[in-house]
Amino acid sequence: MKSYGGRHRTVFLVLLRVVWTAVCAAVLVVSGVAWSTVSTISTGVERSYAIPDDVPRSTSGRNILIMGLTTRLDLHGEPLPDDVLRRMQAGESDRGGYNANTLILLRVPVSGPAVAMSVPRDNLVPLASGGEGKIKEAYGRAKIAEEERLRAAGQHDPRTLERAGREAGRRAQVRTVSAFLNQPVDHLVEISLIGFFHIAEGLGGVDVCLRAATKDPLSGADFPAGPQHLDAGQALSFVRQRHGLPDGDLGRTRRQQAFLAAVAKRLKGADVGVVRAMADMAKQDVVLDAAFDLAEFTTNLPSEVRFETLPIEGGARVGGLDVNRVDPAKVQAKVTELATAPPPPPPDDGVPCVD
């Protein structure tokens, strides 16, 4: 598939290029912003202990797992305001569950360009909790199991259950992806669906380009062909649409990458005030692992990021569900290839056109 690259000036921008995303991760700052701003973001964002201190670590760089959740709830499991849900055009608060519909392994080498590897969400893989399932399901299954365990032990406080359940979900998702890719995970970034909306809203919308007109009532997508500016609600529909696309979910992955490339392009021209406002917004939506030292990370920030989508073998029907057949050996070989010698990104030639 085509990859999208561009020059980045900051950690904030790098993570935005690879999160919903995502987005992915909308948590840091542009270069030139005062150190006090970095410190404020670092101490204000939600932290996770899902990656133990004693797990294996990368030796020639760092692997950051970026997880985009489908939930329409906030970080405490509370419903979003009705007016926000209406503008998101993503249905009611009880939709979506806790699937990790976006999974990106961001490989940041000691030197040279970084590579963001998208893992198709419907890959049929062994799950950390046991058995097989779609890779996106590791989070939600573990969350439910942990909450049931705690209820059986007498715990009924909703926020305690939500926090413990999400931590179990993060642990399971990290272990599942790490085993499937045969790569250690050094850090994690989690962002929910509202994060995509907040990113686009904070920027006043984004510019995208479509090869053909498209309409999908399930996602709310209704776009003409060609270059166009999308508001926050439209942008969320743009990244959520999969019905009516030539490649289905893989087409949606390219949509997400194009959206993040558009965010990066917009941020390049943004002033410090806009970035600070978005950083404050990110605290509502983003979770980082406890060991993610943002200040240290800024000292070795890559200037380039390339997107890749990891291979699948084709579709299959298993237990009444549509899944992706995968060859773990081929996937792991591709990851190793990209992690050890990522190709240079293409020139930054503006907003890419996608299906």
- CA–CA separation, 276 vs 257, rounded Å? 23
Which has the minimum average pLDDT: 44-58, 66-80, 220-234, 340-354?
A: 340-354
The tens digit of pLDDT for each residue in 54-90 reads: 999 998 888 999 888 887 788 778 887 777 777 776 6
Question: Does the pLDDT value for residue 33 go beyond 50?
Answer: no
The tens digit of pLDDT for each residue in 253-282 reads: 788 778 777 776 776 666 666 666 666 666
pLDDT for the residue numbered 346:
53
Greater pLDDT, 71 or 291: 291
329, 310 Cβ separation under 8 angstroms = no
Question: Does the pLDDT value for residue 37 go beyond 50?
Answer: no
Provide the sign of the torsion angle of the four alpha carbons 196, 201, 204, 210, taken in this order.
positive
- Using the structure block, give the residue that is written with the tokens 């990209």: 338
Question: Does the pLDDT value for residue 120 go beyond 70?
Answer: yes
What confidence category does residue 327 fall into, taking pLDDT thresholds of 50, 70 and 90? very high
Tell me which of 2.60.120.10, 3.90.1300.10, 3.30.420.590, 3.30.565.10 is the CATH number of domain 11-203+257-346.
3.30.420.590
- CA–CA separation, 132 vs 128, rounded Å? 9
Length of the chain: 355
The string of DSSP letters for 213-282 reads -EEETTTTEEE-SEEEEE-HHHHHHHHH--TT-TTTHHHHHHHHHHHHHHHHHHHHT--HHHHHHHHHHH
Closest CA to 8 of 305, 228, 335: 305
Greater pLDDT, 253 or 188: 188
The pair of structure tokens assigned to 276 is 């600070």
Question: Does the pLDDT value for residue 31 go beyond 60?
Answer: no
